[in-house]
A and B are shown apart, each in its own frame.
Chain A
């Protein structure tokens, strides 16, 4: 097998050579690794902004009948918190990670369209800036992250906030679609020799499914937002019930995007889990085919569950039953994944390093979020608790307990590859436990608040039932959560400057990103590697018992 060899220095992709300034080498870069890191840094900045917004909300809700924020300010802050976290913190982080890792994992030198990649990132960055400009440009959006009509109609939202919201989501959506096309084409055409689709790491598979979800879900949002803009700016009547417009259509179109979106934020996290858990259990993933297949199944099913967000809208019973059934069905492939992770760890020589701690935290917290999700698929329960804090608790267990724990697991796992330095294990363990305690103190009481009838998105509440006590616990928890994030920032800051050198493969992992130096050179691999099995680096380290010798048996 003749490998493709490219001597260093002849690789033209990296515009930011030594003749350029440091700033230009980043801003003008089309290197997927630099773009990936820019995505991740951008997402951390927005994560901090969204976090500060959540602390403001928790401070307001810490005591009954508090007057720290006005109702209008509160509306703007919870809207900005949701939009920021979903579109400008979680998604950029996951797509940044995908950008960084997919070419390395499949043994490629870059993505298929490097310039389109830079274009996607800058669209994302500027749409985020535009969203935040709304604070200056007359007020932030205030209709919630899903901006239900008619709250976004001009008659109800007179500031420019919701127009900024619609524009920012259109722009960032175009960026996401472009990067999804890029990632799919990269995986299909730029795999190293031997890297068949049955051998690509599960993270790459999950990114493929995520990219297809983005491809078909985001245009729905774009269409919805274009119509919102037309209503607001041209006096159109799409969602104006007085003129026969249908605000229920807004909801349908939004959730046809919105539910796949949940899996756009969850599947890459599943991918991270499927990389971290085997490496720290010292075993190959249990049931590769099942893990991939369940991910693909989730992808298809996620387009058939959207109206479970709308049980309280007043659909027909047949529609209710259909969406209840599909919503329960999607729990099955998700459950398959949980079992395969547990089975992977089962009997392994588990190394309790920080990435693995977060991975176990993910499994436990995501399980709670997943189970409360199944309760919400049961129509009578949903009628009771929809729009309450129970729902807020549910999706924070999925998105923070699930995705964010996976994100931190991934950061601790791949930071050494990206920076060449290890993050501090001591601070990492501290961060994990403080975060676990803070997270549960913040969000577990929300289940109880919701069951007692506290609606979401209210700026205050009367001092009745146990609401005062539960909210006080939740507020305390949110500040503990903030402490854990500060520990993380300190860890990042110190480790970038003076962390222990990582070496090429500090975790003794098996996928191709660990086959090159840390950080990798601009051209990734001097010699394009050959994928001998699903774990090429295992084969290299264990020539006496390579994986490919067993592939025929296990398939």
Chain B
């Protein structure tokens, strides 16, 4: 093979995104299908109103506060990343703490929502709307909790081993996932709360 010359372009394999971030982007793409399936089931289920309805049971004004907390946590996450580049692990941890707190506020709000429904004897078995509501918010809430655990772990581990400046660091990967979870909530919040507030149902 000594006679060969390889064009320079050929030796540079793969885009600059990096294998870890590409992997998590593929994972997110796959995950979004699960959410689309559950959102579709929610929408189709709305065609059969009997028993409790979102208009009667849900208060968009109540949930919007918690939703803003979740969306704000995307902003604090975005603030944490540049801190790593500036060798400010302490600042990064503060922003991660803010992210975890905001995410936890959302989880508490969601739990409160479930508790209020539960007090009205509404569970997944009550009617079709409740079935689709609990599944959609439950699966999303599970994703939020997993994200909180991941972010908290990174913050704790960084006390011993600082987060690397690489764009392939665990924090970069988790932040992509976290933005995805927050963005999904825009779709879900629109489907459940805005729809019921604007159109009834």
Contact = CB atoms under 8 A, between A and B. Distances in A.
B4 A230 contact: no
Contact of A222 (B15, B34, B40): B34
A193 B14 contact: no
Contact of A195 (B13, B30, B50): B13
Contacts of A222: 34
B6 A238 contact: no
The main secondary structure of chain A at its interface with chain B is helix
Contact of B128 (A184, A216, A237): A237
Contacts of A191: 13-14
Interface in B119-145: 123-125, 127-128, 131-132, 134-135, 139
A540 B50 CA distance: 73
Contacts of B5: 1
Contact of B125 (A181, A216, A237, A543): A237
A2 B34 CA distance: 45
Contact of B26 (A194, A215, A543): A215
Contact of A234 (B18, B124, B132): B124
Interface string A525-540: 0000010100000011
Given A189-B19, A194-B4, A245-B128, 12 more contacts: A177-B30, A181-B30, A185-B19, A189-B13, A189-B14, A193-B13, A216-B33, A220-B34, A226-B135, A238-B45, A243-B127, A249-B44
Interface in A517-555: 530, 532, 539-540, 543, 548
A543 to B, nearest CB: 7
B80 to A, nearest CB: 25
Interface string B6-44: 100011011100110011001101110110011011001
B48 interface: yes
B29 A216 contact: yes
A404 interface: no
B198 interface: no
A181 B26 contact: yes
A223 interface: yes
Contacts of A532: 1, 4
A545 to B, nearest CB: 13
A536 to B, nearest CB: 8
**Lowest 4 A-B CB distances belong to which pairs?**
A244-B48, A235-B125, A223-B37, A219-B33
Contacts of A52: none
Given A216-B30, A230-B131, A236-B131, A188 B15 contact: yes
B3 interface: yes
Contact of A1 (B11, B26, B128): B11
Given A193-B6, A216-B30, A245 B125 contact: no
B194 to A, nearest CB: 23
Contact of A189 (B11, B22, B37): B22
Nearest to A212: B26
Contacts of A112: 19, 23
Between A113, A234, A238, A543, the greatest number of chain B beta carbons within 10 A of the residue's beta carbon is seen for A238
B42 to A, nearest CB: 10
Interface of B: 1, 3-6, 10-11, 13-15, 18-19, 22-23, 26-27, 29-31, 33-34, 37-38, 40-41, 44-45, 47-48, 50, 123-125, 127-128, 131-132, 134-135, 139
Given A245-B128, A540-B1, A194 B11 contact: yes
B29 A193 contact: no
A249 B50 CA distance: 19
A9 B13 CA distance: 27
B127 A237 contact: yes
Interface in A132-178: 177
Interface in A181-237: 181-182, 184-185, 188-191, 193-196, 215-216, 218-220, 222-224, 226-227, 230, 234-237
B6 A194 contact: yes
Contact of A188 (B1, B4, B14, B30): B14
Nearest to B4: A532
A244 B45 contact: yes
A509 to B, nearest CB: 17
Nearest to A218: B30
Contacts of B14: 188-189, 191
B89 to A, nearest CB: 26
A397 B186 CA distance: 46
Given A234-B124, A245-B45, A540-B1, A188 B22 contact: yes
A467 B18 CA distance: 60
B125 A234 contact: yes
A117 to B, nearest CB: 12
B124 A230 contact: yes
29 contacts: A1-B5, A112-B19, A113-B23, A177-B27, A180-B26, A181-B26, A185-B22, A188-B14, A188-B19, A193-B10, A194-B6, A195-B13, A216-B33, A219-B37, A222-B34, A226-B34, A226-B135, A226-B139, A227-B41, A234-B125, A235-B125, A236-B135, A237-B127, A237-B131, A244-B48, A245-B131, A249-B40, A530-B1, A532-B4
Contacts, number: 125
B4 A223 contact: no
A196 to B, nearest CB: 5
B190 to A, nearest CB: 19
B94 to A, nearest CB: 31
A215 B45 contact: no
B10 to A, nearest CB: 5
Between B10, B30, B139, the greatest number of chain A beta carbons within 10 A of the residue's beta carbon is seen for B30
B38 A223 contact: yes
A226 B139 CA distance: 10
Contacts of B22: 184-185, 188-189
Contacts of A223: 33-34, 37-38
A219 B30 contact: yes
Contacts of B127: 237, 243-244
Nearest to B134: A236
Between A185, A188, A224, A530, the greatest number of chain B beta carbons within 10 A of the residue's beta carbon is seen for A185
A246 B176 CA distance: 35
A476 B1 CA distance: 56
A194 B34 contact: no
A182 B24 CA distance: 10
Contacts of A220: 33-34, 37
A62 B41 CA distance: 43
A253 interface: yes
Nearest to A243: B128
A530 B48 contact: no
Contacts of A543: 3
Contact of A215 (B6, B29, B40, B47): B29
A193 B48 contact: no
A235 B132 CA distance: 12
